[in-house]
Structure 1
Amino acid sequence: MDIKQVIKEIGRGKLHARHLDEETAAALYGAILKDEVDDLSLGAILIALRIKGEGEEELLGFYRGLEAFLPQWPALPNTLIIPSYNGARRQANMTPLLALLLHKCGVNVFLHGVHNDPTRITSAAILAAMGINPAGDIAESHQQLLETGFSFMTIDTLCPPLAKQLDLRWHLGLRNSAHTLAKLISPFVAQAGVRMTSVSHPEYLPKVTQFFRDIQAKALVSNGCEGEVYLNPQRPSAMHYVDTEANETLEILVRGVPAQTPLAANKEIATTIAWMQAVLDKHIAIPLPLREQMISCLVVCGRFGSQRDADLWLTEQGY
């Protein structure tokens, strides 16, 4: 591969840069993950991509290059794959709560994310304080899912080469394509389970939904909250479902109303856990946007046939 030519194509600025085709993008990202690109060229590539943004074929190609570094577990019924790569900056991180509530509702949950972020409160830190530790390796995580229906794995265990790319943020001062890709991956074969993901900018919504259509993977896509997948309890967004069986993308959940129930007073771990436990123990109601999100999750992963059935069942359970 001619790295200089690649940089020339993508490094002409936002107005004049060209997107790579899928084949070239796959080869490029595979080379990056294999440490076959020198540091100077890699920095140029990452900055160029940051400036121009990934094209649809590029995103698909990068993922194809990444697939060889991921597990390919067989399908498991009623499964959700939840990424957590941003953490809390202003308000409590609710991703662990969403994952644990869905697990209590009979969903198989695979949660993956960063091990540490010195600038935010990560899901890993919250779970660790609750005594829930990440799986030590891929085999252990798979066994946890089969036996308990829940597993959390950090990206440095799930995919070390991708974790290395994520860590370049602390050297460059900017996020890179790995931060987009990490939210799209799954340890299962493409057609298995339902992947949740969030986009930070509206222009990424059609790009990401098209990506899931291209790889034939069911997915729930929303704006989320501070980069996490849970809906913002104060400014909830709509949620879109990529249904590859019906070959359609639909707005499964419209933009809702803000939560009317007490929220965690701040983002700190102790405060977050105390509030989470109160919700899990049914002392505090689930914030309405999160509850509506749960209902959609229960339907698309196959636990219930309709949102009405899921809603009624949650009410019967005291939620």
Structure 2
Amino acid sequence: MTLAPYIHAMGRGPGRARNLSQAEAEQAMTLILQGQADPHAVGALLMLMRYRGEIPAEIAGFVQALRATLPEMPQVDLDWPSYAAGRTRGLPWFLLSARLVASTGARVLLHGWNSHQSDGADVRGALNAAGITQANSLSDLAHVLDQHAIAYLPLEILSPRALELLNLRQVLGLRSCVNTVLRVLNPAGAGAAVQGVFHPPYRGLQQAAAHLLGQRDLCILKGGGGEFERNPTKDVQVFRLVGGQALETTLPALLPEPRRLPGADYPLSALQDLWSGGTCDPYLEQLVTGTAAAALMALGHAPDAAHTLATAHWAQRDCLIST
């Protein structure tokens, strides 16, 4: 088989072209992942999807095909993807939020690909300063999770073929739906997940795709650099799945004075300093605890209770997890 039928369906012209069904998308991605598709056809399909605008059924179908290629994963409670390839701002403070969630007893899987940046603020380069261990193999992942309740798994270990597709951006010059697929992937099948987006319309797209895939609990927000990270001085609209039901929740600003997310003027050591208490910055503390609270909502906590829990564990953090 080839990708020709799927390209034909999407590219026939005005009035006749259509999006793919979920089953068609799964079949097309299966061909791609098996290496049976011509590279030119892969690029054509991805760019047609970008031009038409990907729909939930296509994302869900692609995710199903990719999940079928993944090995068995350890049990986790919260899936936390990090695929903001265009991240240009400062430190990934949300790493401390993920660590804070893990301190409550939830097992958190961070996975992603954004270490190619050289400005010192990439996620993978900040893991050590944030007190988070990278798993260097799938067998290592279970050990790290058992020891720390949180781990970061690089995409090249999780799925080398998915990384190849993601890196087609360098050839095509444009983002493809693969970015969205990886955010929705939830490779370990966690019951709860968080997702960040840069462009607001993707909140609804990813919410609907996750619903098609049977995701039970989910929180999506427009975050700093496209990551799951909230600005504490702004109201934030969270697109959710609660027990499989779609809803939206607006979280009020935590601080009164408007302020942009911090830029690149912090060294990597600022992450460790903030966690250890060596630095006291109310804005950054609210950023970290507010983001953690939004993630705790995905784990089933009501908004007020989630904020109370995040704040309490932040106050006790030194005795909860050691680096």
Task: Give the TM-score normalised by structure 2.
Answer: 0.83
1:230 maps to amino acid = E
Is 1:300–2:298 an aligned residue pair?
yes
Q: Please name the residue that 2:106 is paired with.
A: 107
Q: Answer whether contact 2:193 2:298 (CA < 8 A) is retained.
A: no
Distance between the aligned counterparts of 1:103 and 1:167, measured in 2? 31
Per the TM alignment, residue 34 of structure 1 is displaced from its structure 2 partner at its CA by: 1.5
Distance between the aligned counterparts of 1:264 and 1:294, measured in 2? 16
The equivalences for 1:265-284 within 5 A come to: 266-267=263-264, 271-282=266-277, 283-284=280-281
Alpha carbons of 1:309 and 1:47: their partners in 2 closer, same or farther (altered >3 Å)? Answer: closer
Is 1:193–2:205 an aligned residue pair?
no
Per the TM alignment, residue 248 of structure 1 is displaced from its structure 2 partner at its CA by: 1.9
Distance between the aligned counterparts of 1:130 and 1:206, measured in 2? 31
Per the TM alignment, residue 133 of structure 1 is displaced from its structure 2 partner at its CA by: 5.0
- Unpaired segments of 5 or more residues in structure 1? none
SS in 2 for 1:116: coil
Q: Please name the residue that 2:241 is paired with.
A: 242
Q: Please name the residue that 1:34 is paired with.
A: 34
Distance between the aligned counterparts of 2:256 and 2:34, measured in 1? 46
Residue range with higher mean Cα deviation, 273-282 or 56-65: 273-282
- Unpaired segments of 5 or more residues in structure 2? 316-323
Per the TM alignment, residue 151 of structure 1 is displaced from its structure 2 partner at its CA by: 0.9
1:278 maps to amino acid = D
SS in 1 for 2:226: coil
CA offsets per residue over residues 1-43 of structure 1, 9 Å max, x none?
3422321222357876310112111110011112111122112
What is the percent sequence identity of the aligned residues?
24
2:18 maps to amino acid = R
The equivalences for 1:199-238 within 5 A come to: 199-217=197-215, 218-233=217-232, 235=234, 237-238=236-237
Task: Give the TM-score normalised by structure 1.
Answer: 0.84
Residue range with higher mean Cα deviation, 283-292 or 273-282: 283-292
1:297 maps to amino acid = A
The equivalences for 1:1-319 within 5 A come to: 1-12=1-12, 17-73=17-73, 75-76=75-76, 79-86=77-84, 88-114=87-113, 116-118=115-117, 121-128=121-128, 132=132, 134-189=134-189, 192-217=190-215, 218-233=217-232, 235=234, 237-244=236-243, 247-254=244-251, 256=253, 266-267=263-264, 271-282=266-277, 283-285=280-282, 286-302=284-300, 305-317=301-313, 319=315
Q: Answer whether contact 2:96 2:130 (CA < 8 A) is retained.
A: no
Distance between the aligned counterparts of 2:58 and 2:174, measured in 1? 19
Per the TM alignment, residue 180 of structure 1 is displaced from its structure 2 partner at its CA by: 0.8
Q: Answer whether contact 1:253 1:296 (CA < 8 A) is retained.
A: no
When the two structures are aligned, how many residues end up with a matched partner? 309
Alpha carbons of 1:12 and 1:229: their partners in 2 closer, same or farther (altered >3 Å)? Answer: farther
SS in 1 for 2:184: coil
Distance between the aligned counterparts of 1:60 and 1:272, measured in 2? 39
2:270 maps to amino acid = W
1:81 maps to amino acid = D
Alpha carbons of 1:136 and 1:50: their partners in 2 closer, same or farther (altered >3 Å)? Answer: same
Alpha carbons of 1:149 and 1:26: their partners in 2 closer, same or farther (altered >3 Å)? Answer: same
CA offsets per residue over residues 257-313 of structure 1, 9 Å max, x none?
567599886326xx25333223212433344354233223224325xx544444444
Alpha carbons of 1:241 and 1:55: their partners in 2 closer, same or farther (altered >3 Å)? Answer: closer
Distance between the aligned counterparts of 2:100 and 2:259, measured in 1? 17
Q: Answer whether contact 2:78 2:193 (CA < 8 A) is retained.
A: yes
